[in-house]
Structure 1
Amino acid sequence: MDVLSDQLARARARGAVFSTLRRVAPWGLEFSGLRPLTAHILLEGTGWLSAGEEEPVSLGTGDVVLATGGEPYRIVSEIGADVETITAARRRGSDRHPGPASTVLCGAYVVEGSVGRNLLESLPRFVRIPPDEQTARHRDAISLLAAEADEDETGQQALLDRLLDLNLVYALRSWWQQDRSHAPGWYRALAHEGLARVMQEVHERPEHKWTVEVMAHTAAMSRAAFTATFKKVIGQSPGAYVTQLRMGHAEDLLLRTDAPLASVAAHVGYTNEFAFATAFRRAHGLAPGQWRTTRRQSNSPQDSESW
């Protein structure tokens, strides 16, 4: 598994809320901004993205917008148009009468764990990916997502979740390739031959004994040069990165499996359950078992009211 896949596999959509709405101008949709990450795709027509005092952003057919959590925002046919909440709009359904129409697809993610939080922290409030910055495969994925969102068949939720994941991967790749300064440190490291080798190995085998000396040897660099380069590009020390990666894998196992703590500890590179529990408590303020119980109780599916 490559590094990008490893990161995004643990920040994936789960039980995402979808809507595909046709609107005839004038129209407006209002979003609370409470969701940690929402994707909007303008399948046809034009519109504007408006948020607070910020300058409105013009949207055209095929534009993809990723919106992270924050203050309420609007997608409207024209500045000043009356708006309805996305919850009310979903209940009312699409407009069927003739006129200048736009169709907006929205998908709200459920993002879990530190990997998801780190991903969101690397993004600005809004990311816009116009069609000319999308690959042909991304545009194909958008078409498939739009088609499936209009269906009502067995297994649809799982399929829509995965298609939303696919849109996220394509959108992030396009965004980060436009300007690597926007990308998280681990993504910038992939452009450096030695660091890329280390990142690939560490993500494939987080349980390995990754000392600075071993990582420097893998990168074919001196210990001092490797440490300095790693910290400059990624923004933290090699040891801190490995610990964060292991904690992310541990969170994933605790949330999504019933594996015993000793098994989780071994999987993420700790020789015993006590050493793992100490490291986990230092990072999270709770013992692994307590954290698992608390997070599972608080992770009940969100409903459409939180849009």
Structure 2
Amino acid sequence: MDVLSDVVAFMRTGRPISARVSWRAPWGQAFPALPGSAGFQVVLRGSCWLVPEDSEPVPLSVGDVVFLPHGNAFGLADDPARPLAEADCALHSELYASTGFDGTGAETVILSCGYRLHADRVHPILASLPGIIHLPAKLGCHPELRAAVELLAGEIDNPRLGADTVVSSLLDTLQLYILRAWFESDDEPCRLSGWAAALADPAIGRALNAIHSEPDRRWTVESLGAHAGLSRAGFARRFTELVGRPPLAYLTWWRLASAARMLRESDASVAEVAERVGYASEFAFGNAFKREYGVAPGRYRRCSAVA
């Protein structure tokens, strides 16, 4: 798996939620902060305003996407000066739903989707993102993103056999396209810093994909540097600058994050999990896991099953 695929696979817990919501002016909705969640809004018809908590309103039009990776509070309204009513979160608790609010003015249709995140699965790539990402619709830009939006909206409008699987898969696909669009953005500050620069850097990108593809391999800074086509010192310096932690520290984090997922989602024994993520002994794995998560692997699995 590559890094972005892993981010999407690891980021959510439980089922995603989605809704196609129709509003007719006048309208304004305030959505509270939801820490430990990520969501996105897509304008399918009409236009509206995004009203962030701590910045100026932003006009949205058909095809615009708003991604909120940290569950920040926000508002949507037909007019930036419109008072915002508190949103009924019960309307946004299903895998897919479609609802409308009567009014007399122009119609705006929004595709609203969200995930609950699990602290053990949140990749540091998400922490590098701003609170609100606006991807305006541009002719010819991100055609796969637009196609995924249309497919998802169609499934929610007219659910048929297999809709649960289709909607869940399309939500993951749409999330991946949103992340890809952001990290491939023409916005220069985005491209030249942090994870955007790491993913765009051919050498560091090769090293990251190697770590994600083979976490059980006995990687060293020297072997990762050779894989990236850089000297040991040059690779270590560039990796740390872009990723935010040294190569072997990131490798350890990824191994343990992968192990936590296996413990939660598979029947593999602790010894098997240890081997799959590159630990020579169950004892060494148990010590490393406890340092990271505060509990031994077996107890982590039992607590996760109860939760």
Q: Which runs of 5+ in 1 are unaligned?
A: 299-307
State the secondary structure of the residue aligned to 1:10: helix
Cα 1:205–1:89 change in 2 (3 A) is closer
Instruction: Give me the whole-angstrom Cα distance separating, in 2, the residues matched to 1:187 and 1:33.
Output: 26
RMSD: 2.5
2:134 aligned with 1:125, yes or no? no
Instruction: Calculate the TM-score normalised by the size of structure 2.
Output: 0.87
User: What is aligned with 1:193?
Assistant: 202
User: What is aligned with 1:23?
Assistant: 23
User: What is aligned with 2:296?
Assistant: 287
8 A contact 2:39–2:71 mirrored in 1:
no
Instruction: Give me the whole-angstrom Cα distance separating, in 1, the residues matched to 2:72 and 2:204.
Output: 37
Cα 1:167–1:121 change in 2 (3 A) is same
2:229 aligned with 1:220, yes or no? yes
The C-alpha deviation readout for 1:246-277, integer Å capped at 9, x for no partner, is 01211211121121111110010001111111
Query: Larger deviation: 188-197 or 105-114?
Result: 188-197
Cα 1:259–1:153 change in 2 (3 A) is same
2:212 aligned with 1:203, yes or no? yes
Q: Which runs of 5+ in 2 are unaligned?
A: none
Cα 1:58–1:97 change in 2 (3 A) is closer
8 A contact 1:41–1:62 mirrored in 2:
yes
User: What is aligned with 1:45?
Assistant: 46
2:150 to 134, 139, 143: 143
Instruction: Calculate the TM-score normalised by the size of structure 1.
Output: 0.87
Percent identical: 33
Query: Which is strand-richer, 1 or 2?
Result: 2
Query: Larger deviation: 260-269 or 284-293?
Result: 284-293
Cα 1:87–1:234 change in 2 (3 A) is closer
8 A contact 2:26–2:103 mirrored in 1:
no
State the secondary structure of the residue aligned to 2:18: strand
8 A contact 1:186–1:199 mirrored in 2:
no
State the secondary structure of the residue aligned to 2:11: coil
Cα 1:154–1:110 change in 2 (3 A) is farther
Aligned residues: 298
Q: CA deviation at 1:2?
A: 2.6
Q: CA deviation at 1:93?
A: 3.0
